[in-house]
Amino acid sequence: MASFRIPAEEYAARRARLMAAMGEGSIALVAAATERVRNHDVHYPFRQDSDFRYLTGFPEPDALAVLRPGHAEPYVLFCRPRDPLMEIWHGRRAGPAGAIERFGADAAYPLDELDQRLPELLEGVERVHYRYGADPALDTRVSGWISALRAKLRSGVHVPRELVNLDALLHAHRRVKSPAELEVMRSAGRISAAGHRRAMQVCRPGLNERRLEAEILHEFALAGAGWSYPAIVGGGDNACILHYTENDAELRDGDLVLIDAGCELDSYAGDITRTFPVNGRYSGPQRALYEVVLAAQHAAMAVVRPGMAWPDYHDAAVRVLTEGLISLGLLEGGVDERIADESYRRFYMHRTGHWLGMDVHDPCEYKDGADWTRLEAGMVLTVEPGLYVAPDAEGVDARFRGIGIRIEDDVAVTADGCEVLSAGVPTAIDDIEALMRDA
Q: Which of 5, 252, 314, 350 is catalytic?
A: 350
DSSP 8-class letter at 113: G
Please report how many Cα atoms fall inside a 13 Å half-sphere around the Cα of residue 362, on the Cβ side.
29
Q: Which of 93, 346, 354, 401 is catalytic?
A: 354
Q: Does the active-site annotation cover 350?
A: yes
Q: Which of 167, 255, 271, 410 is catalytic?
A: 271
Q: Does the active-site annotation cover 337?
A: no
* Residue among 359, 362, 382, 364 nearest 47 (CA): 359
C-alpha to C-alpha distance for 321 and 309, rounded to whole angstroms: 20
Q: Which residues have C-beta within 8 Å of that of residue 292, sequence separation ≥ 6?
A: 320, 321, 324, 325, 327, 328, 387
Q: Does the active-site annotation cover 416?
A: no
The CA–CA distances, whole Å, from 413 to 176, 305, 329, 380, 417 equal 9, 6, 35, 6, 6
C-alpha to C-alpha distance for 305 and 283, rounded to whole angstroms: 35
Q: Which of 36, 361, 374, 437 is catalytic?
A: 361
Q: Does the active-site annotation cover 359?
A: no
Q: Does the active-site annotation cover 388?
A: yes
Strands 418-420, 409-413: parallel, antiparallel or unpaired by DSSP? Answer: antiparallel
Burial bucket for residue 156 (CB in 10 Å: 0-12, 13-18, 19+) = exposed
Q: Does the active-site annotation cover 237?
A: no
Q: Which of 41, 394, 416, 430 is catalytic?
A: 41
C-alpha to C-alpha distance for 211 and 214, rounded to whole angstroms: 5
Residue 437's H or E segment, with its range, is helix 429-437
Burial bucket for residue 290 (CB in 10 Å: 0-12, 13-18, 19+) = buried
C-alpha to C-alpha distance for 300 and 383, rounded to whole angstroms: 7
Q: Does the active-site annotation cover 41?
A: yes
Q: Which of 209, 264, 323, 408 is catalytic?
A: 408
Strands 162-164, 256-261: parallel, antiparallel or unpaired by DSSP? Answer: unpaired
Q: Which of 40, 154, 243, 438 is catalytic?
A: 243
Please give the single-letter amino acid code of residue 121: L
Q: Does the active-site annotation cover 271?
A: yes
Residue 335 main-chain phi, psi, to 5 deg: -60, -50
Strands 26-31, 64-67: parallel, antiparallel or unpaired by DSSP? Answer: antiparallel
Q: Does the active-site annotation cover 408?
A: yes
C-alpha to C-alpha distance for 272 and 198, rounded to whole angstroms: 13
Q: Which of 260, 312, 359, 410 is catalytic?
A: 260
Active site residues: 41, 243, 260, 271, 350, 354, 361, 384, 388, 406, 408
